[in-house]
Amino acid sequence: MGGVLLVMMKEMRATLRDPHVIAYLAFPILLYPALIWGVTQFMTLEAGRIEGESLRVAVEAPEVLRQRFDEPPLTLVAGTLDTLDAGEADAFVQLKDDGVLHATVHHSSLRPRSTRTRKAVRKRLDALRDERLVTIAESVGLDPAAVARTSYKGIAIEAPAQTIPGLVAVLLAAMTLISMTLAVIYPAVHVTVSEREAGTLETTLVAPVSGRTLLLGKWAACALWAVSAAAINALAVLLTLAHIAAVMLKGALDVQFSLLGALASVPAVLGAAGFTAATLLLFMVPARTFKQGEVLGSLALGPLMLAMGVGAWGAIEQVAWVIWVPLAGLIPVLRDALIGEPSLAAIAYQALATAGLGALILSLGAALVRREDFLFGGVLPRWIRWAGAR
Amino acid sequence: MIEVDSLVKAFGGDPPKLAVDSLSFRAEPGQVYGLLGPNGAGKTTTLRMLATLLTPDSGTARVAGHDIRSSPEAVRASIGYLSGNTGLYGRLTAREMILYFARLQGVPEPERRTDRLLYRFGIDDYRNQRCDALSTGMGQKVSIARAIVHDPPVLILDEPTAGLDVLVSQTLLEFVEEAKDHGTCLIYSTHIMSEAERLCDRVGILHEGRLLAEGTPEELKEQSAERYLESAFIHFVRAASR
């Protein structure tokens, strides 16, 4: 165990000094908020511009009614339909009052400002109608509340997993797992191929430690990177979502995740990190150069991303069997945990299945670690060399 | 200290190519045994088998009393291994590099041993410099310190001066002489005859995996009736090629 820790700490230290790895780890922390900040700034500016602008409306109506269209955001202008045609008004309203209001609103569907004016006119007409209703109610001795607008509350009939929080949880789970997988490539190349290329693997292999210890140490370092990347990514996504909900949607997105559920799903995430790290290490066996390592790492991403895709599809489409597919099932499992409906059996299954597969892959690697093809690389398919990885 | 007994190693292909063919020799403590041979003679393969990096197809060897087949970890604990293409961990500092291997080797008080070696090889001022920023000479000193951090009774040096300039090579040759005086058993592979003549007590001439001749440099010159070791080497290789 001491040997494994020693190798792991060395790998962590060396990898931590790699600018690629640091850049990757810092990427979500910087990227997501930067993107959202940019979008928020744009939307705020746009909203400010719209709020600040006056929507010009020409009204043909009795003067008392006409004046009601000279309150922000509407500005009353003189004129008729020609004024709208000439672009000097954004809408032209004809209003008749025979006890009931009859409105005809002319607007240009090609001008966004004209569309906004039409909507503002509609709101003003609704307000006029409400005022009349209140006046009528009071005149016949009724409580004005009797004519108040109907209160409205929508309740979705879908299961929580299919609602917005469920979909956000799927997004969070998928992004976390994808970032975990991507984060392991560089460390996996470093601890294997770079050592082979630099000639340091040879010196390590003549130390009195078993191949299994070396492999476990390298694997542990990669798995730790995966977990760190997943945690950082999840945090960045959560903060970004919180910002979107609070600032951009002004509280309209009511998403609350279960901390207990998230904690309960940690074993499954750890299992996935171990499996991912083991898979990428195995893919490094044939590589002789850093470039080949990168190519093979990218190839390893194929099946891993496919599993993620299956998981996301199963989670969104409510496909029950996906939960039992190792790694893929982690997405619906995490989703359920995050929305407060964790299935402990599924979490335990995913943890055991991914950890078991990872252990199987590591055992295979341990069997290879002393062999010449692990030490010196080789057996690289011709087409990978053709792809430019010399 | 090192007893090599009929070592055989072949590599892939059809038919497989014999890299080492029934090789036997013996080296004693306080002695430098030189393995001389042209490129592809099987020197590196032999040394890698002695270092337990490769498993022989047949035959065996005992290093510091341990069998390379049955006790590879004990063998590895008894050897220091340095080759011309041995690398350094570029992102670790000189001190971290030596300290890491001291700990891997289970050296008691690894920090003290590391600091002592840094001082001994005159690299104390560079202790916190990353290895990828060290000069070739300083890097080679770190490599030597790494190889002997556990004070091994056997040193395996595979063309250790390859690619080094004269001054850096000199440091290494002086270190070999010092280790020999200290009672260490050294296997030194090279194709630089002047190095072999200066350092080696016994020399084995290797060609196409076979040991063509063995003895002290003087004995080899006598056997070949040549004045220089280089001429003796060419004599044996040409005779075998006929």
Work out the average pLDDT over A7-32. Answer: 82
Question: What is the reported pLDDT for B215?
Answer: 92
Question: What is the reported pLDDT for A388?
Answer: 42
| Spatial contact of A15 and A220, defined as CB atoms under 8 Å apart | no
> Is A48 a domain residue?
no
**The domain that contains A78 carries what CATH number?**
3.40.190
Domain B16-87+153-241 fold: Rossmann fold (3.40.50)
> Is A346 a domain residue?
yes
Encode B192-210 in three state secondary structure.
Answer: CHHHHHHHCCEEEEEECCE
Measure Cα distances from B144 to B92, B148, B195 in Å.
Answer: 16, 6, 17
Report the percentage of chain A scoring pLDDT > 70: 86
> Is A123 a domain residue?
yes
A15, with CB counted inside 10 A (0-12, 13-18, 19+), is: buried
Dist CA A315 CA A329 (whole Å): 8
Express each pLDDT in A359-380 by its tens digit.
998 887 777 655 455 555 544 4
Same domain, A231 and A371: yes
Q: Which of B73, B103, B106 sits opposite A210 (nearest CB)?
A: B73
Same domain, A206 and A307: yes
> Is A198 a domain residue?
yes
Same domain, A76 and A137: yes
- Would the CB atoms of B83 and A370 count as touching at under 8 Å? no
Higher pLDDT residue, A176 or A165? A176
Higher pLDDT residue, B222 or A374? B222
How far apart are the CA of A157 and the nearest CA of chain B, in angstroms?
A: 57
> Is A153 a domain residue?
no
A17, with CB counted inside 10 A (0-12, 13-18, 19+), is: middle
Residue A48's pLDDT band (boundaries 50, 70, 90)?
low
> Is A166 a domain residue?
yes
Provide the 3-class DSSP secondary structure of residue B187: strand
Which residue range(s) make up the domain with A134?
Answer: 54-147
* A201 pLDDT above the threshold of 90: no
Question: What is the reported pLDDT for A380?
Answer: 45
Taken in order B82, B88, B93, B98, the sign of the CA dihedral is negative
Work out the average pLDDT over A248-277. Answer: 80
Question: What is the reported pLDDT for A379?
Answer: 46
Question: What is the reported pLDDT for A132?
Answer: 86
Sequence-distant (6+) residues with CB within 8 A of A20 are A186
> Is A217 a domain residue?
yes
Same domain, A106 and A179: no
Same domain, A177 and A291: yes
How far apart are the CA of B151 and the nearest CA of chain A, in angstroms?
A: 13
Domain final position from A117, A147, A177:
A147
Domain final position from A91, A117, A147:
A147
Residue A386's pLDDT band (boundaries 50, 70, 90)?
very low
B31: left (phi over 0), alpha (psi -120 to 50) or beta: beta
Same domain, A8 and A126: no
> Is A130 a domain residue?
yes
Closest CA in chain B for residue A372:
B54
* B50 pLDDT above the threshold of 90: yes
Closest CA in chain B for residue A369:
B53
How far apart are the CA of B219 and the nearest CA of chain A, in angstroms?
A: 34
Tokens 């799903």 found at: A265
Sheet architecture: strand order including B32-36: B79-83, B154-158, B185-190, B32-36, B202-207, B210-215
As for how many domains chain A has, the answer is 2
Query: Domain residue spans in chain B?
Result: 16-87+153-241
How far apart are the CA of B92 and the nearest CA of chain A, in angstroms?
A: 6
- Would the CB atoms of B81 and A204 count as touching at under 8 Å? no
Q: What is the dihedral of CA B128, B131, B135, B137, to 10 degrees?
A: 100
Work out the average pLDDT over A349-361. Answer: 91
Same domain, A242 and A335: yes
Domain final position from A147, A172, A187:
A147
Return the minimum-mean-pLDDT range out of A121-130, A200-209, B54-63: A200-209
Mutation target for A interface from B49, B75, B103, B104: give the one with most A CBs within 10 A.
B104
Express each pLDDT in A232-251 by its tens digit.
888 888 777 777 777 666 66
| Spatial contact of B139 and B88, defined as CB atoms under 8 Å apart | yes
Same domain, A164 and A132: no
Same domain, A288 and A215: yes
Q: Which of B74, B85, B147 sits opposite A199 (nearest CB)?
A: B85
Dist CA B94 CA B92 (whole Å): 7
A183, with CB counted inside 10 A (0-12, 13-18, 19+), is: buried
